[in-house]
Chain A
Amino acid sequence: MENYEIVVIGGGPAGLAAAISAKKSGMRKVLILERDRELGGILNQCIHNGFGLHTFKEELTGPEYAERFIRMAQEAEVEYRLNTMVMDISGDKKITALNKEEGLLEIQAEAVILAMGCRERSRGALNIPGYRPAGIFSAGTAQRLVNMEGYLPGREVVILGSGDIGLIMARRMTLEGANVKVVAELMPYSGGLKRNIVQCLDDFGIPLKLSHTVVDIKGKERVEGVTLAQVDEKGKPIPGTEEEYRCDTLLLSVGLIPENELSREMGVKLNPVTSGPQVSESLETSVDGVFACGNVLHVHDLVDFVSEEAEAAGRHAAEYIKAKREDRREPEAGSAQEQIPLETGEGVRYTVPSFVRPEYMEDSLKVRFRVGKVYRNCYVNVRFDEEQVIHKKRLYAAPGEMEELTLKKEQLAEFPQLKKITISMEEA
């Protein structure tokens, strides 16, 4: 059995930033376990630019952003093992992993940071009728094939879903010589960034059909065409609006879900809205000494915020270990303290964290959340019990863009009897 202070599961941007930050906070033995052949996670296949404007004040491609963090991790002497799949984590933080050279590994950690990222929703979740011919890919799979393996999965393409991966792949496949006929989006708005709609669709004259979905797929062996139809407010196809498109490939870009098999098995409590762990102000899950950050916690659109969140997770994990060594922590951590829940009011789908313990709070705390619909001219409201403490104007808010606000420790100190904090949206 090997021993480490902190073991980080997953070597994407979240895992890298968490490990670097744990090292900087004084930890000596920090290990990243990554199942892929290289560090960097999903960034390795995101060869487009648009990363790092907040972190590095310049626009980088995904691989460049990853390589900068990999170098920082090497300089900080973070240890890592590649091609190593974590199979199980026990409640007392014993990790079982598998790799070719060493076989089965057992590692005891004092703290664990979950950074496994997310996976794409698959076709099964979509309920499209018809056969299951070849030629249906998730957009992320297509991205990996084109950008990493140098293989173009089709020539005549229809894309369902206008999330960023779908938009980016519309451009990428066009540049590689494919004919992308249309992008269909079920919702009346796109989940993708405006910039991607302009530079990936408009630039190439690819139409975006909002409030549309795929109602039929033609072809037995290979996709030969798809039928799109307009949908009503409830998302139900409207008869008579069907249009047929000939194509050999259908890409699905219908959303991401945090990858929490491991977390679930070890008994981490999950938030049904995000499918990620419920966490405290320290990004600690319901299992003592187990932290989470990045897309495994909630799906992010900007890697800069992933890095920022992960840095906090690394710092908190180090602090947890130090406190434990100095016996500062109560044995029943989490349960004995008073927890103030963060509740979602009107228009707010979820918040991260789920609750705060004032005595563990740093001077200020970033709360991230998502709204349920598009708002123009609105307010973000924060109430401490019944009293409104923040009333902030926003020109625009949309489900596709993560929102954030800052809570101050001194603000909370003025409410010693605080029972709950509510975050809500209000139209102006």
Chain B
Amino acid sequence: MEKRYLTCIGCPMGCALTVNLSGQEVVSVEGNTCKKGKIYGEQEVISPVRTVTTTVAVEGGKLPAVSVKTRADIPKEKIFDCVRALKGIRISAPVRMGQTILFNVAETGVDIIATKTVDAR
């Protein structure tokens, strides 16, 4: 049986989890103090997801860049693809908080939105 070792991020205790796998199936989770840890452990080995935050260059704005995020979580292995897809982009001011910057980033089905308002210069 394959074992994966993780730290639960559900609360400050940070329980050390051991997830026992048989192929793609989770057989059991050990080391968790509460139910949240079991759910986290299962999710994290089967399909880990993350919110990605970065910046995108702005043209003609009061600030040179605007902060952005994925509107929802994306698969963890797509983090770098997502950042790369945003590298070349320049967006012109004004930018509103919540505005879509890029649709369907890196084929994840998730959009990139601005997390700040940048007025035109």
Binding site for B on A (CB under 8 A): 44, 47-49, 59-64, 67, 146-150, 175-176, 193-195, 197-199, 202-203, 376, 395-396, 398, 400-401
Binding site for A on B (CB under 8 A): 6-9, 11-14, 33, 50-55, 57, 63-65, 67, 69, 76, 79-80, 83, 97, 115-117
Q: Closest Cβ of chain B: how far from A25's Cβ, in Å? A: 28
Contact of B64 with A61 in the complex, beta carbons under 8 Å? no
Contact of B69 with A49 in the complex, beta carbons under 8 Å? yes
Tell me whether A401 and B116 are in contact in the complex, defined as CB-CB below 8 angstroms, given that A148-B63, A150-B64, A175-B54 are known contacts: no
Contact of A194 with B9 in the complex, beta carbons under 8 Å? yes
Query: Chain B residues with Cβ under 8 A from A148's Cβ?
Result: 63-65
Query: Chain B residues with Cβ under 8 A from A376's Cβ?
Result: 13
**Would you give 6 A-B contacts (Cβ < 8 Å), ordered by A?**
A47-B115, A59-B51, A61-B115, A67-B97, A195-B9, A395-B13
Contact of B12 with A398 in the complex, beta carbons under 8 Å? yes
Contact of A202 among B7, B8, B116 (CB under 8 A): B7
Of all chain B residues, which has the CB nearest A199? Answer: B50
CA distance A394 to B69 in the complex (A): 35
Contact of B65 with A67 in the complex, beta carbons under 8 Å? no
Contact of B9 with A47 in the complex, beta carbons under 8 Å? no
Contact of B53 among A47, A149, A400, A401 (CB under 8 A): A47
Contact of B55 among A49, A147, A195, A395 (CB under 8 A): A147
Contact of B54 with A47 in the complex, beta carbons under 8 Å? yes
Q: Closest Cβ of chain A: how far from B90's Cβ, in Å? A: 11
CB within 8 Å: A-B pair count? 75
Contact of A175 among B9, B65, B67, B83 (CB under 8 A): B83
Query: Chain A residues with Cβ under 8 A from B11's Cβ?
Result: 396
CA distance A47 to B14 in the complex (A): 24
Given contacts A148-B65, A198-B7, A398-B12, 13 further A-B contacts (CB under 8 A): A47-B53, A47-B55, A47-B67, A47-B69, A59-B51, A61-B115, A147-B55, A147-B65, A148-B64, A176-B83, A194-B8, A194-B13, A197-B14
Query: Chain A residues with Cβ under 8 A from B80's Cβ?
Result: 175
Q: Closest Cβ of chain A: how far from B13's Cβ, in Å? A: 4
Query: Chain B residues with Cβ under 8 A from A64's Cβ?
Result: 97, 115-116
Contact of A396 with B12 in the complex, beta carbons under 8 Å? yes
Contact of A193 with B54 in the complex, beta carbons under 8 Å? no
Of all chain B residues, which has the CB nearest A65? Answer: B115
CA distance A197 to B7 in the complex (A): 9
Contact of B50 with A194 in the complex, beta carbons under 8 Å? no
Query: Chain B residues with Cβ under 8 A from A199's Cβ?
Result: 9, 50
CA distance A49 to B115 in the complex (A): 10
Contact of A396 with B13 in the complex, beta carbons under 8 Å? yes
Contact of B64 with A149 in the complex, beta carbons under 8 Å? yes
Contact of A63 with B115 in the complex, beta carbons under 8 Å? yes
Query: Chain B residues with Cβ under 8 A from A396's Cβ?
Result: 11-13
Query: Chain B residues with Cβ under 8 A from A67's Cβ?
Result: 97, 116-117
Of all chain A residues, which has the CB nearest B12? Answer: A401
CA distance A199 to B6 in the complex (A): 11
Q: Closest Cβ of chain A: how far from B76's Cβ, in Å? A: 7
CA distance A67 to B13 in the complex (A): 31
CA distance A269 to B15 in the complex (A): 41
Q: B50, B76, B115: which has the most chain A beta carbons within 10 Å?
A: B115
